[in-house]
Structure 1
Amino acid sequence: MDAVSELLDCEDSNPESPWEDLWKATSRHLISRAGQLDASQELGDLARRVVRRWGPLAMVNARRELSGDLMGRLPRRTVSSGFCIYGVMTAYFFRCFESLPPQAPAQQVASCLRRITSGPLGAMDTRDNWGPLEFSESSRWPIRPLDFRLLQEHWEACSLKSLTVEKCPDVNLQELRLSSGLGAELRGVPGAGAAVAIARQLAAPAPPPVPLWLGLNLVPGKPGARVPPTLRMVVIGSHLGSNFEPLSLVQACAARASLRLKATVFGTAYPWPEMPCTIFGQCARSRPIDDAVGLLVKQMYRPVWKPEELLELLAEGLEEPQLVEADLILCTQPMALCALLRGITDLPMLLYQAFPLVGATPLAFRHLLLLQLRETQVANPKRSSLVAYSEYLSQQVQRQTGQRPICLRPHSLYAARAPTGGGYSPDRENPRVLVSRLAGWARDGAAAVLHLSEAFAERMLRPETRIRLVFLGVQRPDAETVAGISRPFGYNELRRFRAAVYFPWDMGMLLFSELYAVGVPLLIPGRAWIAAMIKRMLENTDFGWWQVREEGSAVALPSRKSLPGSTLSWPWLSANSSIAEILQLYELTDFARWPHVTAFASLPELMVSLRTIDFDSTSQQMIRWNEATLPRSLDILARTLASLLGNQTLHAEKDESSCV
């Protein structure tokens, strides 16, 4: 643990070490709210001293050793004696502003800062194993990796205008943080809008049940009797969460309206095909539909399919008895599946969007798919209805089709009410905290966060607590403070975790809402840390944050700056997106908008939160908020279903929303 403290927090007992003096001088500079060009002589002298000791070659060698140390691949403390990554980064940072003549081009500063974040000799660059620094935030050092990004973007904007140093505002870090929406302390906090939304939801009276069966063109059970009919519905889609999220809402609508519902689920392939059968008793299979879904899942990220392949399978699937007798199709993802299916059946269809609209669609067919979905929304709203599950996706759909869909926030009723599930019931004797989801996407960062978490947990969670961190998708022998879990498990085990630490890797994940619905207290990285990770992933990887990547930005309409009711001009990101643009989109996610979610700015701060959080009270608040927002969602969905099924007096407006 001493090595981790030295490397990340710069705690060095050596009296010759410059780190404590550099830390104090940097802190005084930030408190003074001065610009970087006005750094004190003391700060400049300390920075020069560090850079002389840790020049480019020494920096490269130490950084390579650092990655091995952070990921536990080398015996602890193999890095050259006295090295401190955040101290070195800070020294390089202030050197970029030293002895600059007023007429020097702003590009000179921008280039210097760029070398720190991405240059071959830069202090932060980890191209071979990009993750450890993003997953190892110092708990005390006053300048963070995101500050480098913010100031780099500021000086690059000046260089694009061909400004000189004296003409480019010497803005301080506090001003940059505030202008980016991060706040003076660069800490992640839930969005302020959540409190307003909660108050509105709690104050609003529950709407009366909507009689879905009124006006339906179906035969009652007995002639002349007011007995509601049975609604036969088929659900088609690839992922369990995106299938059962809307299905569970339809089930709740039907129960509230005393409507019998008979639902059949086809196509579920993720996380494994047998899960709907083993947990929910949905054991029906359709070879052609399963094959169509399976084809899209296999080609999820590099699609090469042709429409005739899927159309042939789907046409055969429509002959299944459940579909022949169906009154309604609920189609989820991929949306290409739903668009093709829409064209070969007259059945009313509810399309549920928890996925990029053009995901798993070959580039040649993307605009045609979007035009078809636009036609579905505009010309036949009584025959089809498109529902998005988050405010971000809702605005993205609006940009792609020109029409804003209905937005229903996920309630994950299926997780809390599953036959093998239930509410929060943690193991209090041997409390475990689930950590998700790193193994599949964070590369070496996953090993780094596991190794560092173990070190910090040994120091900060023992002996006061018995908490053990359990990393999802990790195979390794259990230790005192950390363990791995790679086998599949159901919702009954999910509710047994004391809490969950969630590292988002896309704009929306249904495991997040499942944990929320069950009442497992959630802890997520703060917004500044998230923004730094998103930026690095966009620059250096071709995976993660798939919903927001610019590769999926096809639109069906001529380019316009914005659309009525939308707050976004371009709801996608690329490697060149600014931190402000990243944060603008992240603010629309459930991670940033839902209340009672604890944010942490570093791994040490996470350990403090795990020691101080009131798990039971937080769980109750989450469950109450989920219940308080449910009536609004059910009311919108009930009117949508009633309209699809023939009720002429009930309908939901296209832009209605229960998304917070």
Structure 2
Amino acid sequence: MESSSWGVTVLDLWDMAQGFSYPQVTMLHQYMGSGPSPQSVSSDTAGGVASLEQNKEPAGKPGFWIFEFGSHKALSNEPVAMLRHALPDFEVLHQNFVQPYEGRAEVFIHPFEQSCSPNCEYQQDSVPYIFPVVEDMEESRLGFRSFVLGQYLVKPEVRKASLFLCTNPMYYCNFFTEFNKTVLGYFGLPLHYMVPQEHWAKWTKDFVAMASQPKSFFVSNNPLHAEQVVWQTGRRIPLLRPVVLYRDEVYNPTRENDILLPEPRDACVLNCLIRAFTPEGYPLKFFGKADTDRTFQAFTSFRAVVLFPHDFALMTFYELYAMGVPIFMPSHMSKYLFPYSATVPLLDYVPSDVQQGCEGCEERAPYSPMNLNSGAALKHWVNKVDFFVLPEVQLFPSIAGLLDALPRADVHAISQRMRENRQSRLDDGLGFWRRVTESTFRDGLVELPRS
């Protein structure tokens, strides 16, 4: 529709409908246990795996320990890589007490019959959403505290150089209260994700209290998430976009006539559309992720990538950007309606005092950044969406516009400017990571809390 000359768009129709019928959502009840998870212990020098069972000082370099609760592997990679970069004279050992997922939760009952999607026979296998929740936080937190004090922090070499890291969900930060140690929070998903609804009010207050502590270093990894935190708490935490030091691949377009459509949810539809619209003799060919070995080395060999994202917090976008792979994305707002994403209004809880304008709170925005399912809300928050903010992201108005832009783009110049932006952000962010490590080393001089 956006490719036609009509004066009406999908977004206009969505606004006229005034709402969306969300799919049935089921709760996956998670129960936590305390103990080491050897598969998630990593070191940058021991072949990628190291044991923390004995907590001995690593040979050659002094050790620096990161103890994490986080279920999102890519989100965990960013702060760990940055701490290693900030501590070249230390061997950084990372222990995640949760086995991070690499897939995603799925919808319990798909809203459309499979026959509605003849071009995507597996569509029903790739549309979210289940909301997992942590049911026994208080009991698990106390058990974890006893375990860490008895097994890890009792060792002087660990106590003098260790910090706690919480990523996704933000609720996992609860495990690190009362340790009197530095807590690093690196966030990309909403405040109440995985939080039982009956605990939303308490968790909001607890988060504000934790964030105000001098040993808490909480950041958002994208500007929209930072606004979501302001919306729900009235307080702002800093923004620190991913620079992806954990990947070594760089743009190397050996396949200069090939374009990658990597998003599994949409690649089948996009390939169908592109086949229909591509003129005979078009100089470029299109491939899906399934046509590759699914490695970043393969992705960086394409001329460019076309992304139709399924969420505003997409680590794949930041990873490709950091590698300098030219990214083409739709410019029309209707392509950014994500009713199934983690930013759905199902998590849009705001305490009454924040709604009314609490003391010290920022001024309320006219639209919720948790509910971007209207044209007005999208237009209000578009300047907080990195797809439209970071330089050199190539925006196309239609399939026809994409087909015109791809062969004409100076992809090498685009890639160079993307990498320059990434380097600038890397340099600007180093001060934050140094402050985190300085706080951690000061912790080593402080007496442990009693178990």
For normalisation by structure 2, the TM-score amounts to: 0.73
Q: Deviations over 1:201-233 (max 9, x none)?
A: xxxxxxxxxxxxxxxxxxx99xxxxx9954222
Residue 370 of structure 1 deviates from its aligned partner by 1.4
Larger radius of gyration: 1
Distance of 1:261 and 1:398 partners within structure 2: 33
Match of 1:411 in 2: 243
**Aligned letter for 1:559?**
V
8 A contact 1:236–1:243 mirrored in 2: no
Match of 1:572 in 2: 369
Matching of residues 93-172 of structure 1 within 5 Å? 137-146=1-10, 148-149=12-13
Q: 1:377 to 1:138 in 2, by over 3 A?
A: closer
Residue 610 of structure 1 deviates from its aligned partner by 1.4
8 A contact 1:299–1:360 mirrored in 2: no
Whether 1:426 aligns to 2:426 is no
Matching of residues 300-311 of structure 1 within 5 Å? 301-303=131-133, 305-308=135-138, 310-311=140-141
Q: Which moved more, 1:309-318 or 1:501-510?
A: 309-318
For normalisation by structure 1, the TM-score amounts to: 0.51
8 A contact 1:395–1:571 mirrored in 2: no
Whether 1:437 aligns to 2:271 is no
Q: 1:435 to 1:235 in 2, by over 3 A?
A: same
Whether 1:525 aligns to 2:327 is no
Match of 1:336 in 2: 171
Q: 1:503 to 1:151 in 2, by over 3 A?
A: closer
8 A contact 1:377–1:403 mirrored in 2: no
3-state SS of paired residue (1:263) = strand
Root-mean-square deviation (CA), in Å? 3.5
Match of 1:121 in 2: none
Residue 517 of structure 1 deviates from its aligned partner by 0.5
Match of 2:317 in 1: 512
Distance of 1:437 and 1:272 partners within structure 2: 13
Q: 1:466 to 1:449 in 2, by over 3 A?
A: closer
Percent of aligned pairs with the same amino acid: 23
Question: Which of 203, 206, 224 is the equivalent residue of 1:392?
Answer: 224
Q: 1:302 to 1:428 in 2, by over 3 A?
A: closer
8 A contact 2:371–2:377 mirrored in 1: no
3-state SS of paired residue (2:349) = coil
Q: 1:299 to 1:139 in 2, by over 3 A?
A: closer
Match of 1:552 in 2: 347
Q: Which is helix-richer, 1 or 2?
A: 1
Matching of residues 586-625 of structure 1 within 5 Å? 586-625=382-421
**Aligned letter for 1:141?**
S
3-state SS of paired residue (2:321) = helix
Residue 313 of structure 1 deviates from its aligned partner by 6.2
Residue 606 of structure 1 deviates from its aligned partner by 1.2
Q: 1:349 to 1:150 in 2, by over 3 A?
A: closer
Aligned residues: 375
Q: Deviations over 1:88-115 (max 9, x none)?
A: xxxxxxxxxxxxxxxxxxxxxxxxxxxx
8 A contact 2:220–2:238 mirrored in 1: yes
Unaligned stretches of 5+ residues in structure 1:
1-136, 157-219, 222-226, 274-297, 473-483, 649-660
3-state SS of paired residue (1:414) = coil
Matching of residues 455-474 of structure 1 within 5 Å? 455-457=276-278, 459=279, 463-470=281-288, 472=289
Match of 1:80 in 2: none
**Moved segments of 4+, more than 6 Å:** none
Match of 1:451 in 2: 272
Matching of residues 279-428 of structure 1 within 5 Å? 301-303=131-133, 305-308=135-138, 310-311=140-141, 314-315=144-145, 318=148, 325=158, 327-339=162-174, 341-343=175-177, 345-378=179-212, 380-382=213-215, 384-415=216-247, 417=248, 422-428=249-255
